[in-house]
Amino acid sequence: MDTTTQADPVTFGRHPDTYAHWRLSIDGDRATLVMAVQEDRPLRPGYRLKLNSYDLGVDLELADAVQRLRFSHPEVRCVVVTGALERVFCAGANINMLASSSHAFKVNFCKFTNETRLAIEDASRHSGQKYLAALNGVCAGGGYELALACDEIVLVDDGNSAVSLPEVPLLGVLPGTGGLTRLVDKRKVRRDLADMFCTVAEGVKGKRAVAWNLVDEVATKSRFAEAVDRRAKALAAGSPARASGGIELPALASTKSGDTTRWQHVTLSIDRDKRVATLTVKGPAADLPEDPAAIRKLGAAWWPIAAFRELDEALLTLRHNEEEIGLILLKTEGDVESALALDRVLAQSGSDWLVAETRAFIARTLRRLDLTARSLYALIEPGSCFAGTLFEIALAADRSYMLYDKDQPVTIAISAMNGGAYPMSHGLTRLAVRFCGDPGKVDALAGQPRVYDPTDAEEAGLVTVVADEIDYQDEVRVAIEERVSLSPDALTGMEASLRFPGHETGDSKIFARLSAWQNWIFQRPNAVGERGALTLYGKPERPAFDFRRT
């Protein structure tokens, strides 16, 4: 089954002018996002994107649109998502793509699409950009999961168009993009009705879809446009007016030299033999603007936007193009005081729309880091600037190593931005997670921003290991070698468990309960074996199951 398509690396930059699969248009405070997947433009050769089915390439454009709407079109208060095909809104993730992908690719594909749907909900929650799914035809599997991520769903009532999650009955796998969780946790569909719904391949349509709360409204073909318009207006009206005049998000520039990719603020170096990557973020310069108007003028060139966009792309590169890299060494370079000065702006100007968007985007990028299934070590060395926002990177790491060298002093710093600006996907801050046994300490640390030398940092429990110049290199080397020798699967499960103490939310349940189950099922012979349901999908043979339940 593990017939990895070794193809060109995935590239991540997208722009509406060159979307292959979506059409984005803006009209006043409303955006319309039309899914119009081109069958013959899959991300990798080997399958056709029939019936508005999607692959990673389609989802990269969607993620770009969701992000761009927040930065470039802050005036938008409602986004209508609909489809360009007759009778079909979206057939879901492309099955042939899934069946021909490696397990690692499948899992990373699902993780990215999950993050995109969470980004839609984040836009609704934090930026008042409400999403309306206007389902103009059949909406199956991942198509319905996309609809579930929207605030409201209108389904055409044409006697044929249904919403469905046919994964269990047809493919022997789970809906992979939060569908089960959102059904019962977000839309509060009664669990027994959800059970019926998820086992009926043809789905549910018409009045029953409304009665079960699978959709908010059904409308006949002749009234569909009116219903969508009415709901879009109401959603926009319920959302506070925002700024106009967004900023452009230009393509990110990077250069590759050997196994090192350099963006402006971020460098990614791959050591394939060791299966280790080094990811270095250069901190902000000293003379950044403090005034929101000047920041808007800088736009996407403003350090936090530029640096975290690059970090985001570097993380996606590692996930999708460097599957064998097991350990990421996280480094920073720069000036602690400049990083703290930038954090004061982020903290004080949080009511400015662009600063608020920047904070929310940093939070999303840090969550992408938390959810990256690679071991993470932060190396806190001379010349580094793990301060405030950038210290979140160290807090996200599985471990941190800090050099104590009296000739080359190293410091870290806590700022007001560590106090709550960047929640993890289960809603807790990384500081609160770190000291979950001592909430008073969290408040004390976050409430008293300051700089820590290695001795203070160790005493405060802010770093894992402090070692002097005699031991540091050896200690880090051994820790790296040990880590990459361990079972990558066991590490994934261990890290996913240890990184998220505390309660769960709908968001975190998707990656925990749901995705973990899905990963399991994706591996099982009942799905991917010679006679598994996924393998035989579309073929005349019936799957043969090992019926032992677990």
Q: How many Å apart are CA 241 and CA 74, to the nearest integer?
A: 9
Residues 405-424 that bind a second copy (CB under 8 A): none
| Residue given tokens 């090992």 in the structure block | 546
Residues 57-96 that bind a second copy (CB under 8 A): none
Shortest distance (Å) from residue 231 CB to a second copy: 20
Residue 75 or 167 with smaller CB distance to a second copy: 167
Q: How many Å apart are CA 253 and CA 443, to the nearest integer?
A: 40
Site mask for a second copy (CB under 8 A), range 258-277, x = bound? -----------------x--
User: What is the total count of residues that contact a second copy (CB under 8 A)?
Assistant: 95
6 lies in the site for a second copy, by CB under 8 A = no
Q: Which two tokens stand for residue 248?
A: 């452009």
- In 38-145, where do the E strands start and end? 53-54, 78-83, 88-90, 92-93, 130-135, 138-140
Q: Which two tokens stand for residue 81?
A: 């998502």
184 lies in the site for a second copy, by CB under 8 A = yes
Going by the DSSP 8-state scheme, the letter that residue 9 receives in this structure is: P
Residue 387 or 512 with smaller CB distance to a second copy: 512
Of 372, 374, 369, 373, residue with least CA distance to 391? 369
304 lies in the site for a second copy, by CB under 8 A = no
> Considering Cα of 6, then 267, then 405, then 431, what sign does the dihedral take?
negative
Residues 326-355 that bind a second copy (CB under 8 A): 326
493 lies in the site for a second copy, by CB under 8 A = yes
297 lies in the site for a second copy, by CB under 8 A = no
**Span near a second copy by CB under 8 A; candidates 20-28, 86-94, 195-203, 256-264:** 195-203
Figure out which of the listed residues 41, 87, 125, 188 binds a second copy, where binding follows CB under 8 A.
Answer: 188
56 lies in the site for a second copy, by CB under 8 A = no
300 lies in the site for a second copy, by CB under 8 A = no
9 lies in the site for a second copy, by CB under 8 A = no
546 lies in the site for a second copy, by CB under 8 A = yes
Residues 218-247 that bind a second copy (CB under 8 A): none
Q: How many Å apart are CA 379 and CA 376, to the nearest integer?
A: 10
**Span near a second copy by CB under 8 A; candidates 139-147, 154-162, 202-210, 482-490:** 482-490
Figure out which of the listed residues 475, 524, 531, 537 binds a second copy, where binding follows CB under 8 A.
Answer: 524
Q: How many Å apart are CA 86 and CA 446, to the nearest integer?
A: 54
DSSP H/E element including 414: strand 412-414
Going by the DSSP 8-state scheme, the letter that residue 171 receives in this structure is: I
Figure out which of the listed residues 69, 491, 507, 535 binds a second copy, where binding follows CB under 8 A.
Answer: 491
Q: How many Å apart are CA 426 and CA 499, to the nearest integer?
A: 10
Residue 14 or 331 with smaller CB distance to a second copy: 331
Give the angle 405-409-412 at the CA atoms, nearest 5°.
115
Residue 357 or 507 with smaller CB distance to a second copy: 507
102 lies in the site for a second copy, by CB under 8 A = yes
**Span near a second copy by CB under 8 A; candidates 149-157, 332-340, 392-400, 408-416:** 392-400
Shortest distance (Å) from residue 445 CB to a second copy: 13
Residues 103-122 that bind a second copy (CB under 8 A): 103-104, 107-108
How does DSSP assign 180-215, residue by residue? Answer: HHIIIIIS---HHHHHHHHH-TT-EEHHHHHHTTSS
Shortest distance (Å) from residue 380 CB to a second copy: 13
Shortest distance (Å) from residue 315 CB to a second copy: 13
Shortest distance (Å) from residue 421 CB to a second copy: 20
196 lies in the site for a second copy, by CB under 8 A = yes
User: Is-contact 547 527, C-beta < 8 A?
Assistant: no
**Phi and psi dihedrals of 333, rounded to 5?**
-135, 130
Q: How many Å apart are CA 74 and CA 127, to the nearest integer?
A: 8
Shortest distance (Å) from residue 524 CB to a second copy: 5
Amino acid at 232: A
Neighbour count for residue 201 (Cβ, 10 Å): 14
Shortest distance (Å) from residue 541 CB to a second copy: 15
527 lies in the site for a second copy, by CB under 8 A = yes
Q: Residue count of the chain, please give it.
A: 550
Residues 33-52 that bind a second copy (CB under 8 A): none
User: Is-contact 432 502, C-beta < 8 A?
Assistant: yes
Residue 88 or 431 with smaller CB distance to a second copy: 431
Residue 220 or 497 with smaller CB distance to a second copy: 497
Residue 38 or 497 with smaller CB distance to a second copy: 497
Shortest distance (Å) from residue 213 CB to a second copy: 7
**Span near a second copy by CB under 8 A; candidates 35-43, 276-284, 302-310, 541-549:** 541-549
Going by the DSSP 8-state scheme, the letter that residue 253 receives in this structure is: P
Residues 496-515 that bind a second copy (CB under 8 A): 496-505, 509, 512-514
452 lies in the site for a second copy, by CB under 8 A = no
Q: In terms of DSSP H, where are the helices of 299-419?
A: 303-321, 336-348, 353-370, 391-396
Shortest distance (Å) from residue 127 CB to a second copy: 25
Bridge-based pairing state of the strands 92-93 and 78-83: unpaired
- Cβ neighbours for 27, distance < 8 A, ≥ 6 positions apart: none
Shortest distance (Å) from residue 131 CB to a second copy: 20
CA 300 to chain centre: 20
How does DSSP assign 26-61, residue by residue? Answer: EETTEEEEEE---TT--SSSS---GGGEE-HHHHHH
- Cβ neighbours for 25, distance < 8 A, ≥ 6 positions apart: 31, 32, 34
Residue 33 or 325 with smaller CB distance to a second copy: 325
Residues 138-177 that bind a second copy (CB under 8 A): 167-169, 171-174
